[in-house]
Amino acid sequence: MKEMSMEKAIVQVFMDSPTKIFAVQEIYSGFQKYYELRDFQKQKDSSGQLRFHNAVRSILARLEKSGKVTYLGDDMRKLGKK
């Protein structure tokens, strides 16, 4: 089985429950069902956050900008209209 990209894995989390409002922690958990993290991505960065959390947040920002994901405030997001 070919591995999904990080972005496709995040989008799949939203597609699995298209009407659900997700907290970022739920996105992190759901994302790991579709994307196999490498050891480096599981390590903490200099601020103490897991490296993959930074990557997921960056991709979420890109998806929000494109309209695929809607930011609702307080770290809550839902599937966008695009």
User: pLDDT tens digits for 16-69?
Assistant: 999 999 999 999 999 999 999 999 999 999 999 999 999 999 999 999 999 999
Q: What does the block give as tokens for 77?
A: 């997001």
Q: Is residue 1 part of a domain?
A: no
Q: Is residue 13 part of a domain?
A: yes
Residue 79 burial (CB count, 10 A): 20
What's the domain count of the chain? Answer: 1
- Give the CATH number of the domain where residue 29 resides: 1.10.10.10
> Could you give the CA distance from residue 78 to residue 82 in angstroms, rounded to a whole number?
12
What is the model's pLDDT at position 35?
94
**Paired residues of 73 in beta bridges:** 76
